[in-house]
Amino acid sequence: MSLVVENLSIELDGRRVVTDVSFDVADGARVGLIGESGSGKSLTALAVLGLLPEGAAVSGSIRWNGTELIGRHDRELAALRGAEIGIVFQEPQTALNPLRTVGRQIAEPLRIHSRASRRDALARAQADADRVRLPEGTLRRYPHQLSGGQRQRVAIAMALSARPRMLIADEPTTALDVTIQAEILDLLGHLVDDDGMSLLFITHDLAVLSQVATHAVVLEHGRVVETGAVGDLLTAPASEVTRGLLRDATATVWRPEGDA
């Protein structure tokens, strides 16, 4: 189950926002997409998911498991999302319905993608809630009754409930405190390992990236400026962009315990 992106270009309102981006995420790999704000990270992820804004012009190739996704019908892409590719965004609120209990929301993708019965789906939802270490009783609660970190755990449980083969996480910890951020990153790492999923992790923070990804693609103004092992980016950044990201990295997350 590999993702291969080749020469992806995206135009919005006649403006080129992503140019000739190529990278791949092999089965079980953990790849980071990193760059300053506005460098085209989210649009690249949205292109993979078939969620670009209406009117976007896309060229190049995005192959999932050998199948071309560009030009595929909305319905087919919707089936892929959730079932084979899970998604977590920066703001868990966007994924959560304020009027529904957490339990129903975690159970919903299962009902849609695997046609599980309501009862089975709820039992699985409890197992998923435990897996993301939500406290007892969370399934009966509503999103506004949870902390930001708990809401992101719910969003992660939803993304993983249908057991996708790849997870795309777009700045999933950016809105959280540093301590909670570290917990969520740790959780994501474990979940990805347990399920043998591949991970495409988007961040502007090299410190965060180094916690979850082994390889990275660095974007600037919608173009790839550097790719490589995360360890190499940290010790021998080849581009000015990566050197800048290194200076801005959250030192508290990056350094192991002790000197935060």
Ligand X SMILES: Nc1ncnc2c1ncn2[C@@H]1O[C@H](COP(=O)(O)OP(=O)(O)O)[C@@H](O)[C@H]1O
Q: Identify what 196 binds: Mg ion, ligand X, none; CB under 5 to 8 Å per kind.
A: none
Q: Interacting stretch for ligand X, rule CB under 6 A, among 30-38, 78-86, 132-140, 208-216?
A: 30-38
Instruction: Return d(Cα 120, Cα 140) in angstroms, integer.
Output: 16
For the chain, first and last CA: distance in Å? Answer: 39
Contacts (CB under 6 A) with ligand X, residues 37-56: 37-43, 53
Question: Under the criterion CB under 5 A, does residue 42 sit at the interface with Mg ion?
Answer: yes
Tokens of 183: 């917990």
Please count the other Cβ atoms lying within 10 Å of the Cβ belonging to residue 89. Answer: 21
The answer to whether 94 contacts ligand X (rule: CB under 6 A) is no
Select the span of 12-20, 90-98, 128-136, 228-236 touching ligand X (CB under 6 A): 12-20
Closest CB to ligand X among residues 22, 126: 22
Rg of the chain over all Cα atoms, to the nearest angstrom: 18
User: Can you read off the two tokens belonging to residue 254?
Assistant: 């990056």
228: helix, coil or strand? Answer: strand
Phi, psi of 113 (to 5 degrees): -90, -30
Q: How far is the CB of 255 from ligand X (least distance, A)?
A: 26
Rounded to the nearest angstrom, the gap between the alpha carbon of residue 114 and the centroid of all alpha carbons in its chain is 22
Q: Give backbone dihedrals phi and psi of 95, rounded to 5 degrees, phi first.
A: -90, -15
Per CB under 6 A, the segment of 33-41, 65-73, 114-122, 173-181 that binds ligand X is 33-41
Nearer to ligand X, 41 or 165 (CB): 41
162 to 181, contacts with Mg ion by CB under 5 A?
A: none
**Which tokens sit at 107?**
């159970």
Length of the chain: 260
Residue 167's binding partner out of Mg ion, ligand X, none, with CB under 5 to 8 Å set by partner kind? none
Question: Among ligand X, Mg ion, none, what binds residue 40 when CB lies within 5 to 8 Å by partner kind?
Answer: ligand X
Site for Mg ion in 113-152 (CB under 5 A): none
Chain residue at closest Cβ approach to ligand X: 42
Number of Cβ atoms within 10 Å of the Cβ of 179: 12
Residues that bind ligand X (CB under 6 A): 12-13, 17, 35, 37-43, 53
